[in-house]
Chains A and B, each alone.
Chain A
Amino acid sequence: MTTIAQETAPLTRRKRRWEGLPYWLILPTVVYLGLFFVWPMIQGFGLALRDESGHWTTSAFQTMVDDAAFGDAMSFTFLLILVIVPIQFVLALGMALLLNAKLRGAGIFLYIFLLPLAISDLAAGIAWSAIFTERGYLNTVLEGVGVLEQPFIFLDPTSKTQLVMVVAAAEIWRSTTFMMVILFAGLQGIPRDYVEAAEVFGAGFFQRVRHVIFPMLKPSIQVALLLRLIFAFEVFAVVIALTGSGATVLAAEAYKWQATNENEHVAAAYSMVILGLSLAAAAVVLVVLRTPRERRLR
């Protein structure tokens, strides 16, 4: 007995030392997040909920809700998400499947798909506004081929539908690849055996996607939707560049209250609303697309 005890003692000690290591390894990240995310967030709460003299108040939130632009910003932000995210998801999945099919020239597709990711959102917004403006590229082409006789005003702020379509076009172009990259990585993680097995049993393409690929891709879909929704609440530059003051979103209002109206309290209140909505959206995605532990790969 004693000999066994003598032999195992140093082993457990060594084991214990290794168990603590991961925590030491994530410490820098925790410090970084604490310093640059958690602390500013707490300060943001402080700004939103206190006045100049430091008293606790909800007056910033009151001003925000009473402002005529609040409702517009809220509805336009949600409208954009409802239009953009589903279309983007379908497109991204299609693009990822196309790449994963390993057709000849798939590498070129990947490069083409990746191009918009390399462009800043503001630059994308400006480029699209040069396309959609009355004397822009789109009207010139449409008039050139005889589809239109007079230029059509795409950026017409009296039509909310048009504004949503225009912003959606630019956003879909700009950020679909972002979702695609995540889905593509997920697809590559699915062992070919499963797909081949399904094929052997006579499953067609759509059946394979529906019953094999889709369930196994769920964790990637979760991540892609999670990040996309969070970014969607922050959409800003594209909307500003394309619609001017014709439409507004939450992040644009936050900026305006800080920069133009010089009221940091209301700006912080807007930031808190964006934070709250992002958290809520993230929670919904996490719950709805939950993959039980026993069904996960590996």
Chain B
Amino acid sequence: MSTVNDDNLSPWDESFDRRSALVKAGGVGAVLALGGLAGASRATAGSSQNAGKVTAFFGQFGGIAEQEGIRKYVLKGFKGDVDPVFAPISNPTLFVDRVRAEAKAGKGNIDLLIGLHGDFVTFQNEGLIRGVDDVAKQIKTLPPPLVKIGKLGTKTQFYVPHSQATYVMVANKDVLKYMPKGANIDALTYGQVFAWAKAIRKGTGQNRFGLPASDTGLLHRFLQGFLIPSFTGGFVTGFRSKEAVQAWDYMRQLWQYTHPQSLTYAFMQDPLLSEEVLLAWDHVARLKTALDQRPDDLVAFPVPKGPKARSYMPVIVGLAIPKNAPNPAGGKALIRHLTTIGAQAQILSLTGFFPAVRGQLSKRISPGLLAEAAAVRKQQKAPDAVQALLPIGIGAEGGNFSKIYRDTFTRIVRNNENIQTVLKEQGDLLQAIFDKTGAPCWAPDPPSGKAPCRVK
């Protein structure tokens, strides 16, 4: 489970994040105020009946400021008595564990689950959640493709999509002049990003391209969901392919023009604000502060395209109801409330997770977030875009799965080992995970049916 949860902010990450503590102290107030403004007039939709006592279990948004904002603003205006419970981000497995434990004990306390797509795959596999088709049909503002993902490949709607996040690129406007001639910022290629990073070094005398490569950064997501699938067309099957060798060779060369302090960066918003880095890639929630504070100096744009695709990793948060919920009607009422555009705008202000529902966002949302939203939309709509979903079905091996990509990075890029040798050895470790868990391939890898995914 941690494989998916580490995409969210965690207090652990934040505590290492030297400037964000200060920045946040100033920023949180402003963000909360924004949320309040946007929500005061709008977050009142939903049923007019009182929903009674509703226990909502959040597997996401567990940061202190996020919790406070959700209590104060998002849940305000809901007709009912909501008891929000947040899974500690330091122990993300607790979200799944508690739902399982309640099912085992035969007595449920939770009426609504707020979790990631991957969590719901686990719950559905174990028969812990019930269908929510009726609510999903009532909410007309949900885009059908997202609704379909919530069916988890079945005919039943198991979760209602709530919000989403992904990763984008951000550049300081000062370095736009170094962008390769003829390149379109909304449709860059990996080659152009490399040329750009190189030109920035030439122009500024320093490597100013940055990646979040510290232990708490999300570099492994860049490798898993962006770079490798863009070159090979998949996560696992092409791990040792010729194209993968190309991708790693690309990474090795790009590293020559990457800021050496990248190995200490967890959130790219900090070096972007201090201008140590002028061109970066990261999770939207980890770029939010920079875009909020300096919307006029920074520009957000879609990730680049490789020889096979413009691969990006979506992060989908959904709403589901446990089978043994004591107040399922209340849970459904809360789903309706949380999918109003007002509540979704507040979530965006608080967390940087974008609304799943269609609708006009309030102009009072900060310009930085609007810019980020625009980049995300362009990325989703790009004709060559391919979604690389987070690994599912590998359970507790999720941590190992990411470690393989990071170790491969360390050995090839930092220690300059032979690419083929490393891919051979790490590929064996990767295969071992699938042999152990029996997990089949997932998009964008070609489907392997019921058989475990195979590294070719």
Cβ-defined contact, A260 with B215, below 8 A: yes
Cβ-defined contact, A130 with B18, below 8 A: yes
* A contact residues around B274 at 8 Å (CB): 133-135
Cβ-defined contact, B16 with A263, below 8 A: no
How distant is the Cα of A155 from the Cα of B399 in the complex, in angstroms?
A: 27
Cβ-defined contact, A244 with B264, below 8 A: yes
Cβ-defined contact, B264 with A155, below 8 A: yes
Cβ-defined contact, B16 with A153, below 8 A: no
* B contact residues around A74 at 8 Å (CB): none
How distant is the Cα of A168 from the Cα of B77 in the complex, in angstroms?
A: 54
* A contact residues around B399 at 8 Å (CB): 260-263
**A262 partner, pick from B2, B19, B264, beta carbons under 8 A:** B2
* B contact residues around A82 at 8 Å (CB): none
Is there a chain A Cβ closer than 8 Å to B205's Cβ? Answer: yes
How distant is the Cα of A150 from the Cα of B201 in the complex, in angstroms?
A: 14
Known contacts A68-B411, A262-B396: does B19 contact A130 (CB below 8 Å)? yes
Interface positions of B from 164 to 189, Cβ below 8 Å from A: none
**A157 partner, pick from B263, B398, B402, beta carbons under 8 A:** B263
Is there a chain A Cβ closer than 8 Å to B445's Cβ? Answer: no
Chain A nearest CB: distance from B202 CB in Å? Answer: 15
How distant is the Cα of A119 from the Cα of B276 in the complex, in angstroms?
A: 27
* B contact residues around A134 at 8 Å (CB): 259, 261, 274, 276
What is the total number of residues of chain A having a CB less than 8 Å from a CB of chain B?
Answer: 28
* B contact residues around A158 at 8 Å (CB): 260
Cβ-defined contact, A135 with B263, below 8 A: no
**B261 partner, pick from A130, A156, A260, beta carbons under 8 A:** A156
Chain A nearest CB: distance from B258 CB in Å? Answer: 11
Interface positions of B from 245 to 272, Cβ below 8 Å from A: 259-261, 263-266
Interface string of B389-406 (1 = CB under 8 A from A): 000000010111011000
How distant is the Cα of A102 from the Cα of B6 in the complex, in angstroms?
A: 54
How distant is the Cα of A256 from the Cα of B403 in the complex, in angstroms?
A: 10
Is there a chain B Cβ closer than 8 Å to A126's Cβ? Answer: yes
What is the total number of residues of chain B having a CB less than 8 Å from a CB of chain A?
Answer: 37
Is there a chain A Cβ closer than 8 Å to B275's Cβ? Answer: yes
Interface positions of B from 1 to 51, Cβ below 8 Å from A: 2, 6, 12, 15-16, 18-19, 21
Q: A255's closest neighbor in chain B, by CB?
A: B215
Q: B406's closest neighbor in chain A, by CB?
A: A245
Interface string of B194-217 (1 = CB under 8 A from A): 000000000001100000011101
Is there a chain B Cβ closer than 8 Å to A191's Cβ? Answer: no
Is there a chain A Cβ closer than 8 Å to B407's Cβ? Answer: yes
Cβ-defined contact, B260 with A126, below 8 A: no
Is there a chain B Cβ closer than 8 Å to A278's Cβ? Answer: no
Chain B nearest CB: distance from A255 CB in Å? Answer: 9
Is there a chain A Cβ closer than 8 Å to B141's Cβ? Answer: no
Interface positions of A from 12 to 62, Cβ below 8 Å from B: none
Is there a chain B Cβ closer than 8 Å to A242's Cβ? Answer: yes
Interface string of A152-183 (1 = CB under 8 A from B): 01011110000000000000000000000000
How distant is the Cα of A241 from the Cα of B21 in the complex, in angstroms?
A: 14
How distant is the Cα of A150 from the Cα of B415 in the complex, in angstroms?
A: 28
* A contact residues around B93 at 8 Å (CB): 262
Is there a chain A Cβ closer than 8 Å to B448's Cβ? Answer: no
Interface positions of A from 54 to 101, Cβ below 8 Å from B: 68
Cβ-defined contact, B264 with A243, below 8 A: yes
How distant is the Cα of A155 from the Cα of B206 in the complex, in angstroms?
A: 14
Chain B nearest CB: distance from A47 CB in Å? Answer: 15
* B contact residues around A262 at 8 Å (CB): 2, 93, 396, 398-400
* A contact residues around B21 at 8 Å (CB): 126
Is there a chain A Cβ closer than 8 Å to B410's Cβ? Answer: yes
Interface positions of A from 108 to 151, Cβ below 8 Å from B: 122, 126, 129-130, 133-135, 150
* A contact residues around B263 at 8 Å (CB): 157, 243-246
Cβ-defined contact, A260 with B403, below 8 A: yes
* B contact residues around A246 at 8 Å (CB): 263-264
How distant is the Cα of A239 from the Cα of B396 in the complex, in angstroms?
A: 28
Known contacts A68-B411, A260-B215: does B276 contact A244 (CB below 8 Å)? no
Is there a chain B Cβ closer than 8 Å to A240's Cβ? Answer: yes
Interface positions of B from 269 to 311, Cβ below 8 Å from A: 274-276
Q: A157's closest neighbor in chain B, by CB?
A: B263
How distant is the Cα of A156 from the Cα of B410 in the complex, in angstroms?
A: 15
**A244 partner, pick from B12, B265, B400, beta carbons under 8 A:** B265
How distant is the Cα of A157 from the Cα of B211 in the complex, in angstroms?
A: 14
Cβ-defined contact, B215 with A240, below 8 A: yes
How distant is the Cα of A119 from the Cα of B372 in the complex, in angstroms?
A: 38
Cβ-defined contact, B276 with A133, below 8 A: yes
Chain A nearest CB: distance from B326 CB in Å? Answer: 32
* A contact residues around B206 at 8 Å (CB): 150
Interface positions of B from 221 to 265, Cβ below 8 Å from A: 259-261, 263-265
* A contact residues around B407 at 8 Å (CB): 68
* A contact residues around B264 at 8 Å (CB): 129, 133, 155, 157, 242-246
* A contact residues around B260 at 8 Å (CB): 153, 155-158
How distant is the Cα of A246 from the Cα of B410 in the complex, in angstroms?
A: 10
How distant is the Cα of A131 from the Cα of B309 in the complex, in angstroms?
A: 42
Q: B219's closest neighbor in chain A, by CB?
A: A245
Q: A67's closest neighbor in chain B, by CB?
A: B407
Chain B nearest CB: distance from A91 CB in Å? Answer: 26
Known contacts A68-B410, A262-B396: does B261 contact A155 (CB below 8 Å)? yes
How distant is the Cα of A130 from the Cα of B403 in the complex, in angstroms?
A: 28
* A contact residues around B2 at 8 Å (CB): 260, 262
* A contact residues around B18 at 8 Å (CB): 126, 129-130, 133, 241
Cβ-defined contact, B261 with A153, below 8 A: yes
* B contact residues around A259 at 8 Å (CB): 12, 90
Chain B nearest CB: distance from A23 CB in Å? Answer: 41
Cβ-defined contact, B15 with A122, below 8 A: yes
How distant is the Cα of A189 from the Cα of B276 in the complex, in angstroms?
A: 52
Chain B nearest CB: distance from A56 CB in Å? Answer: 21
* A contact residues around B276 at 8 Å (CB): 133-135
Chain A nearest CB: distance from B15 CB in Å? Answer: 6
* A contact residues around B402 at 8 Å (CB): 260
* 21 A-B pairs in the complex with CB atoms less than 8 angstroms apart: A68-B415, A126-B16, A126-B21, A133-B18, A133-B274, A135-B274, A153-B261, A155-B261, A240-B16, A243-B264, A244-B213, A244-B217, A244-B265, A245-B215, A246-B263, A246-B264, A256-B215, A259-B90, A260-B215, A261-B403, A263-B400
- With A129-B18, A261-B400 given, name 7 new contacts (CB 8 A): A122-B16, A240-B215, A244-B265, A245-B215, A256-B215, A263-B399, A263-B400
Which 7 A-B residue pairings sit nearest by Cβ, starting from the closest? A244-B214, A244-B264, A262-B399, A246-B263, A135-B274, A261-B399, A157-B263
Interface residues of B (CB under 8 A from A): 2, 6, 12, 15-16, 18-19, 21, 90, 93, 205-206, 213-215, 217, 259-261, 263-266, 274-276, 396, 398-400, 402-403, 407, 410-411, 414-415
